Each structure stands twice: as C-alpha cells, then as structure tokens.
Amino acid sequence: MENPLLTESPCRWGAPRFDIIKADDYLPAFEAGIAEARSEIDAIVSNPEPPDFRNTVEALEYSGRTLDRVSSIFFNLIEAESDESLQAVAEKVSPMLTGYSMYVSLNVPLFNRVKAVYDMRDSLGLEKDQMRLLENTYRSFARNGAALPEKDKAVYSKYAEELSLLSLSFGNNVLRSSNAYRLHITDPSDLDGLPDYAVEAGRSAAISEGVDGWMFTLDYPSYAPFMKYSRKRELRRQMYMAYNSKATGGDIDNTGIVLKIADLRIRMSSMLGYRDHACYVLEENMAKTPGRVEDFLSSLMSVSLPYAREEISRIYGYAAGHGFSDAALMPWDFLFWAERYKEAEFSLNDELLKPYFRLEDCIEAVFGLAERLYGIRFTMADDIPVYHKDVKVYDVTDADGRHLAVFYADFFPREGKRGGAWMTEFRGQCMRGGVEERPLVSIVTNFTKPTESTPSLLTHDELTTFLHEFGHALHGIMAEGRYPSLTGTSVARDFVELPSQIMENWAYEPQYLKTFAKDYRTGEPIPEELVSRIVDARNFLAGYHQVRQLQFGILDMAWHTLTSLPGTDAVEFERKVLEPYRVMPYVPGTAISPAFNHIFSGGYSAGYYSYKWAEVLEADAFSLFKEKGIFDRDTAASFRRNILSRGGSEDPEVLYRNFRGRDPQVQALMEKLGLVRN
C-alpha cells in the first residue's frame, strides 16, 4: 500500500489522511522526504547558471515540500496524540532532521550562492517581500554556522544534534511526569468543598481508569478546581507538590537536562560570535537586545511587585479572619483563599459562571465574533479526516465565499496530549508555481470533557484561552503572501502574541458576552449584574498574575544570558534568581525550570518576555477598538490588512505603526490592569 504521507492527499484542500496514516508510515516518509530535499539542495548548488534570486533564494525557499508536510503532521501529533511508538520514531528522526538541517545551513557552495545574490541585492529591483526573504535567508545562514571555519562546523553540527535530542527528552519527561501522578480518592469526605462539576469529572476519570472513587490528575481542568475549592489542605499540598515538582528529581528528572541544554546554547552562541544565547535570539526580535528586555521586565516588575504584595496581604488578612491560623499563606493555600475572597468581594466563582459557557455556545460565539469583525464564516466539514474522534473540522470562507482555510479544533485532555493550549498548522499559506495553497490551521486545548449528565462547560478563564488561541488561528487563516517563511505566524517572537492576546479583550466586553452567554439548563441569558461582576473582577490579583509572568520572563533571561554554567544545580540557580521577586514562601523540592517546556523544548528560549511585550501592543491596539467600537468593521479591516494578513513580510514595528498610526504606549497596559496610582 502506498505511504499516505508521500502522496498528495485526495481529501478536499489536500487535508492529511489521518484515517489511514499509521505510526509505521513516518520513518520511511521522513527518509524519503530528506532524500528528496537533499537532492533539491544539490540541484541548486550544481546549477550552472549564475546565482540569482529565482534560481537560488526562491528555489531554496520552496525546497523540501514533502519533508515539511511529513514534519508538520508528525510533530503536531507528538504534542496532541502521542504514544510510545511515535516517541520511538521521534528519537530516530530527530538526529536525521538535525543532520539535514546542518547539511543545508553549513553548505559552503549553497551559502556562497546566497551571498552572491545578497551582495548585489540593491541592483536586483526586488519587491519588498522578496528583499525581506533575501535578507532573512542570508542572515539565517550566518546565524546557523555557515561562516564558521570548516573545523568548527563539525563541532557545531554535533552540538545541534545533541540539543535536538535533549529538547525532545525534556518534553517527553514533562509529559511522563505529569501522566505518572494520580490523586485517587475513595473517601467521599475528601471531596469536601469541590463543586459538582469537579466531583463528576473526577468520577468520570476514575471510571475511565477502571477504579472506584474519584481520580484527579495534573491536567489543568482537573488540577485548578481542586486547588481552588478543596477544603482538604493536605490533599491540596500533595497536588501542589506534584504539579510543581514535575520532572524534578526521582526517576523522571530534567534537572540535569536543563544544565546540558543551557551549556549547549552557551557553546553554540559563542561559536557564532554572540555574547550569549539571548543576544543570538533577540537579534531577530523587536526587542533586539537583552538589555532592552531586562529593562522592560524590570520596569514592569518595580511597579507590579508592590501591588502583588498588597494583594497577597489582603488575601492573608481575609484568611486569618476566617479561621486560617498559620503565620503565612503557603502556595497550596493561596488559590483556595483567593477564591473565597473573590466570592465574598465579587460574588463570583467558576461554578456560578460555568453553566453560561457551554462549549458549543462558545464555539458559535467565537466563530460569530470572527464573522462580525472580518466577515469570515466557519462551516462543519465532516468529510475531512481527523486524528482523534474528539477533533472537529471546519471549512473557513471569506465574506466573498473564497476558501480561506481548513480549521481543526481539539478541545479535550487525554493521556497522549501535553497540557496547556496552543495553535499550530499542518500546512501554512504560500504560493507555489503561481498556485496558492491555503493553510490547514489547528488549535489544541485541554478543556473539561463532557460527562454522562453534563456538557463541556468552560470557566471564564477557559473562554479567554479559547479566544487567545483563536487569535493565533486567525493570524494563520488570514495569511496572504508568496513565501511560506514570511506568511501567517512566521513573525518575530515578540510580535506573534499580538493577534492572540488582543482577542482576550472581548471576553470582558458586556456587549459581546450578552450575545451568547446563557444558562444551558434553562436557556436564560446571563444576568446583567453577573456580567458586571465579571468585568469588575477582571483585575482581581492583576499584580500577582503580572509578577508571576514577569518571574517566568526573568528566569528565562537568567538562563539565557549565562556565559558559563552556574556553580550550582538547576533548582538552586532558579531559587537565587527569583528570590528578590518572591511573593509566596519558597517550598523546597519545587521548581519551574525542569518543566518549563516553553524555553527548554518549545521555541521561547530568551523569548518568554514576549507575552508581556505583546500585551503592551495588544492593550494599545485594543484601545482603538474601544474608541471606535468593539465590533467596528473599519478598525477590524485595518487590523487584518496591516497585521493579520502581512505575516513577516515587513518589520513588525512598521506593521504596527501602519495600523495604530504611532508606536505602542506602555501606559495602556498599566491602565488596563489597574496598576496605576490615583
């Protein structure tokens, strides 16, 4: 039987044949894809014609199509539907892919051709996106070792292969560590305080694993309600320790891997002539330098830290007045007492809100918002295969009926799926041979699954997450351009979160919430007074949450501004870095770094600050929607034209100014969060 990964899919829009792809198909598909891609590179190098933009830069940009297709499918499934067979393939494939990457990036004749075109760039009459592609291509070679002395290239290649394998092991360990923990409750009294939806989900989890009682896991829809509502302090402590010590010591341990990854990044950036890994990464971002990032984080921290400490003091005072007798709130106490305080202050909690946010209603509302702003429509596409029965697929069309994208939505947790939420693509938008390929876009979340008696009901935070990832999806769906490396979400790391984070704002707009939020049991619309409470509670613990995000950014920068390894282990290094910014007592045995997927196995090394950076952009950008109207089509059209459709075809600072008419203002974020003194 023909390998479905190596043939053009007969499905509409070329959607992957998930219905027939098997684990055994991947390795031969990777081998064939790499062989094809290498031959395409060889053809560019051996071309007897003088190098020009078309036969060198464009040819390189469009090479490796089969490999790209296989990689996009495989690595997306490793995140969303992994098992031991796929992980075994990943371990074999990772060094193969690194080898191919080095074959390209360290290829002297290929680099010489690119350099020849780059050196005459001003005389070529290139269009704006072509010049951008040429500059990016040349810089990519320089940044990946092409200019290294020959003796150093083998060393650099070896380091890159080691780094690839270590990153893969890091992510697998986090997933294994998370899956290894279960809190199994058999005594009904241990459910004290948990809302009905959490108890029912715990019972469903136990049934699915064939045990009596109730089962709670480290998946966020299970973990978060337990920490917020359980009155059993010792059980909260156990859950907290398990969640915050993932892959930290024991049989599944990333602490040594963290140091090895940091060391390799130090060595590789030094070989390329950079002071540290952060200098290497940030050269390509809006921020440009570590100093600018550190000043940015420091300025926000200096304002936010006093607010965070005031908030924690207020929660502690409330707890002390309601029976809490310890000298300090411990981290496993904080969410519980913060939720009690929130209920008292705002008469608001997840159990009260969840009935108004049935997943199906939220899907319709999120799609409806896109239609209202941009005129695009989502239609169920049951004929397109999926990789899991829970995945839903939609055709996306523009206001004029033009096909824009295929959209996949994978909402519920399962054992082979990593935690969190993300957007990705099985194929990006581009032009090939004068024919446009539209994208295959996916969002993946871990929302509460429906049970026998209750549909999937979102917390308001989960609705916000849905809007966030959908914003990334819109960035991919609305992509317009020629070159795959310049379209959709292929933008600077500290710019890519603007389209996602701006969408979160609608979750707090009464005018929007009232269009869809209704009690799934009665059909009654959400009361006006409850919407007001959601808005009033928006900045509850804003200082604390901002400090938490800034801590992640500071820790990331600390790891990636190292020029040599610290003289301590990973946990102790982290503890010292975060000590000045600590707002809760330190708990021995816990750490962020060994499970910090974003920076050690994802693409956010020296880039976690970008969430806050983009928050400044989105707060400033959304202020224009607030001024013109939150459903204003002209403002939305400008955002689509200048941001969503442009990808990385131009400098992000230029794109932002084209939309806003000026540079972003930090004050918009601080005002949005209420972190300003009157």
Q: Which of 648, 531, 552 is nearest to 597 (CA)?
A: 552
Cβ atoms of 551 and 578 closer than 8 Å = yes
pLDDT computed for residue 415 by the predictor: 87
pLDDT digits (tens, 9 = 90+) for 139-167: 999 999 998 998 999 999 999 999 999 99
Joined together, the tokens standing for residue 562 give 């190292």
Cβ atoms of 64 and 79 closer than 8 Å = no
Domains by residue range for the chain, with CATH = 12-147 (1.20.1050.40), 181-243 (no CATH), 255-345+552-610 (1.10.1370.10)
pLDDT computed for residue 342 by the predictor: 94
- Give me the percent of the chain exceeding a pLDDT of 90: 93
pLDDT digits (tens, 9 = 90+) for 48-69: 999 999 999 999 999 999 999 9
Using only the alpha carbons of the chain, give its radius of gyration: 25
589 dihedral zone (left: phi>0; alpha: psi -120 to 50; beta)? left
pLDDT computed for residue 147 by the predictor: 87
Joined together, the tokens standing for residue 285 give 């971002």
pLDDT computed for residue 451 by the predictor: 86
Tell whether the model's pLDDT for residue 613 goes beyond 90.
yes
pLDDT computed for residue 397 by the predictor: 98
Q: What is the largest CA-CA distance in the chain?
A: 83
pLDDT computed for residue 628 by the predictor: 97
Q: Which of 64, 92, 220 is nearest to 161 (CA)?
A: 92
Tell whether the model's pLDDT for residue 503 goes beyond 90.
yes
- Give me the percent of the chain exceeding a pLDDT of 70: 100
Taking the alpha carbons at both ends of the chain, their separation in whole angstroms is 71
pLDDT digits (tens, 9 = 90+) for 14-61: 999 999 999 999 999 999 999 999 999 999 999 999 999 999 999 999
Active site residue 283: no
Q: Which of 434, 265, 445, 263 is nearest to 363 (CA)?
A: 445
Amino acid type, 291: G
Cβ atoms of 41 and 104 closer than 8 Å = yes
Annotated catalytic residue within 161, 469, 497, 618: 469
Distance CA 168, CA 539 (A): 37
Cβ atoms of 620 and 669 closer than 8 Å = yes
Cβ atoms of 565 and 263 closer than 8 Å = yes
pTM, two decimal places? 0.88
pLDDT digits (tens, 9 = 90+) for 533-584: 999 999 999 999 999 999 999 999 999 999 999 999 999 999 999 999 999 9
Helix (H) or strand (E) holding 253: none
Cβ atoms of 491 and 652 closer than 8 Å = yes
- Quote the distance between the C-alpha of residue 274 and its chain's center: 27
pLDDT digits (tens, 9 = 90+) for 208-267: 999 999 999 999 889 999 999 999 999 999 999 999 999 999 899 999 999 999 999 999
pLDDT computed for residue 299 by the predictor: 94
Amino acid type, 144: N
Cβ atoms of 634 and 628 closer than 8 Å = yes
pLDDT computed for residue 54 by the predictor: 97
Q: Which of 164, 160, 202 is nearest to 182 (CA)?
A: 202
For residue 617, CA distances in Å to 422, 612, 675 come to 20, 9, 17
For residue 43, CA distances in Å to 46, 48, 317 come to 5, 10, 71
Tell whether the model's pLDDT for residue 678 goes beyond 80.
no
Joined together, the tokens standing for residue 514 give 């009232």
Q: What is the mean pLDDT of the chain?
A: 96
